[in-house]
Amino acid sequence: MRIVLLGAPGSGKGTQAQKLVAGHGIPQVSTGDLLRAELKSGSAPGLRAKADMDAGRLVADELVLEIIKRRLEMDDARNGFILDGFPRNCTQAQDLAQLLRQIDKPLDAVLLLDIDMDILRKRLTGRRTCSVTGKVLNIHFSPQQDLDASIAAGGELVHRADDNDETIARRLNVYQEQTRPLIEFYKSIDLLRVVDAMGTAEEVSERIQQALKY
């Protein structure tokens, strides 16, 4: 099965991709993760991507395409893959279509994780990580007792560097302006399946299973 997960930053693509990996035995291919790995290894593409990533802008298309091409050629992607965070603009969608045509492996479905922008903003701005347990919490949505437990354990609720207001606003803008047009594109070629992404991760996962049945 070859799937694209489409959705704004914070819509839960990463979480749902991991659930699909567990259920279908095909790899999650996240351009965000691949770029962060390049950066960590100190490679030339990683260093080129850094400034854009830090600022919440899209990294150059040809760089992302090169990375994704290499990843999809790997053995474990032979029977399918879940693309998470790619494509993110029209050029990337065209590049992907061409790449998959060349290897004769068309997409089966594009799942749109649909979520209210206000909730999204709260998910992103409220996200904190407990410095003791590493647990990801949200000051707007987590039960008060979980937040209190973290403090009681001597933990601090740490705000991720790329979750600052300015970068979040830019990431959401980039999504609105460059990624949202892909919804119409995939609808027009009959690949789009819209999934309500509000509720718990389990509820969303169940909706995805249903959406993949038809």
Provide the binding-site residues for ligand ADP, judged by CB under 6 A.
Answer: 9, 31-32, 35, 52-53, 56-59, 64, 85-86, 88, 92, 171
Of 30 and 150, CB closest to ligand ADP:
30
80 neighbors 2 (Cβ within 8 angstroms): yes
Which of 88, 123, 128, 207 is labelled catalytic? 88
Encoded amino acid at 124, one letter: L
Q: Distance (Å, rounded) from C-alpha 160 to C-alpha 155? A: 15
Which of 19, 71, 123, 171 is labelled catalytic? 171
Identify the H or E element spanning 140.
Answer: none
Smallest distance from ligand ADP to CB 91, Å: 10
Of 8, 30, 20, the closest CA to residue 201 belongs to: 20
Of 32 and 80, CB closest to ligand ADP:
32
Smallest distance from ligand ADP to CB 25, Å: 23
Smallest distance from ligand ADP to CB 108, Å: 20
Q: Distance (Å, rounded) from C-alpha 74 to C-alpha 3? A: 17
Task: Report the catalytic residues.
Answer: 13, 88, 127, 160, 171
